[in-house]
Each structure stands twice: as C-alpha cells, then as structure tokens.
Chain A
Amino acid sequence: EVQLVESGGGLVQPGGSPRLSCAASGFSFSSYWMTWVRQAPGKGLEWVANIKQDGSEKHYVDSVKGRFTISRDNANNSLYLQLNSLRTEDTAVYYCVRGRSGLDYWGQGILVTVSS
C-alpha cells in the first residue's frame, strides 16, 4: 500500500524557515517524480514544486521561486520541502504527492501556519 506521511509543519513566524518532510513507503520511491501541492484554508489546490526521480530536474511555481527548495533522499525514501522567508500567504496545508503530471497518491497533508 502506498503511503505518504508528511511532518514538520506547525506555527511559524513570518520570515521563518521550517523544513517539511515526507516519508514514502509501499512503492519504489526512486522511480517516481514527486510533488508538493498546497491548499490555503478554505481555498483551492495550488501546485508548488516537483522533482525528478534522480533530483536532476526541479520546477517551482513563481510565487515560491527563490524561497522554497524541493529535494529528495532516495536512500531513505524521503521527500523534503525547505520553506524560507515565509509569508502569511504561505499558510496552507502542504501535501506530498506521487507523480509529475498524474498525481495519483496524496499524503494526509501537514498544516503550516505563518503568523506572529
């Protein structure tokens, strides 16, 4: 069974720099692109970033470019999202998702609240 479990969220001050983690299991992690999608409270879904199987290719939505960094550790079946220079508008549930264009399996999500 495919499982994606996010961690690392919580209440963060503006300008803060938390790192989100996603522990993957139940599939060959190194064979898949991986993606982060976020959802602000009461709002729709927004694609944030994704990363190729070997980490050689990464893509970001414009609003996070230069502030967020996606990475992965295939040896430990883990995906990461380093969030820097956080703004209040980054408050959202962040989902770890398998895939590049298909997004077939989603984690339960982790809430990041940016507030002073």
Chain B
Amino acid sequence: DVVMTQSPHSLTVTLGQPASISCRSSQSLVDSDGNTYLNWFQQRPGQSPRRLIYYGSKRDSGVPDRFSGSGSGTDFTLKISRVEAEDLGFYYCMQGTHWPLTFGGGTKVEIK
C-alpha cells in the first residue's frame, strides 16, 4: 500500500500568518493517464471532510484563494497564505492513484 506521511502532526498559527503542511507518498502518484491524484481535505470540528485541492494543485470551487496546493511525484504541500479563524481543524492528504486509496494521518491546525 502507498503510505502517505503528513507533517507536522499539529500546527499552531497566528491569525494572518502563513501555514504549510507537507505530504509525502511512498510511491509516485503520477497515474498511467498522466494525472496526479493527490487531494487535500479540510475537516472542521464536527463536520464532514471537504475537498480543497485535487490533482495536487487545482482548487475546488468556492475554496478561498489563500489555499494553494503544489508538488509532484511524491512530495506535496498545502499552503495557507494567511490563516483565518475558520481554518482551524484537521487537514488530510489522500492519494487516488493506487489501490487501495490511502490518506495521510492528518494535521491539526490550531489558531493562536
């Protein structure tokens, strides 16, 4: 199975400051069709996960542009340019290239 390793496990960020979460996969996530199936999800307290980023860097409709995804192959990053109070919660990366699909362990974002 592809292991998805997220870091850090938790992050405390001052409002208005940037934040960055890393996700590394144990195998390349480039599929035979040329796409990279790497997603980022946000899960606010008490809510279902919400997809923020797909194909590693494409932002979903309605997602604020302070969220950005980057990376390729096995190394990916989610960045929040200026953290807002509503950004608190857990963030998960997930690979959809290889069976079984696998998630990272999650990163807890807290606001200072």
Contacts and interface: CB of A to CB of B under 8 A. Distances in A.
Interface of A: 35, 37, 44-47, 50, 59-62, 95, 100-109
B54 A47 contact: no
B96 A103 contact: yes
A108 B44 CA distance: 12
B100 A47 contact: yes
Contact of B100 (A45, A59, A95, A108): A59
Contacts of A101: 37, 39, 96-97, 101
Contacts of B92: 44-45
Contacts of B99: 59
Nearest to B96: A101
A19 to B, nearest CB: 21
A104 B99 CA distance: 18
Interface of B: 37, 39, 41, 43, 48-51, 54, 60, 90, 92, 94, 96-97, 99-106
A99 B56 CA distance: 16
B96 A95 contact: no
Contacts of A46: 103
A90 to B, nearest CB: 16
A95 B92 CA distance: 15
A46 B103 CA distance: 7
A103 B48 contact: no
Given A44-B106, A45-B92, A104-B60, A109 B51 contact: no
B94 A45 contact: yes
B33 to A, nearest CB: 10
A57 to B, nearest CB: 11
Nearest to A95: B48
A89 B99 CA distance: 22
B105 A44 contact: yes
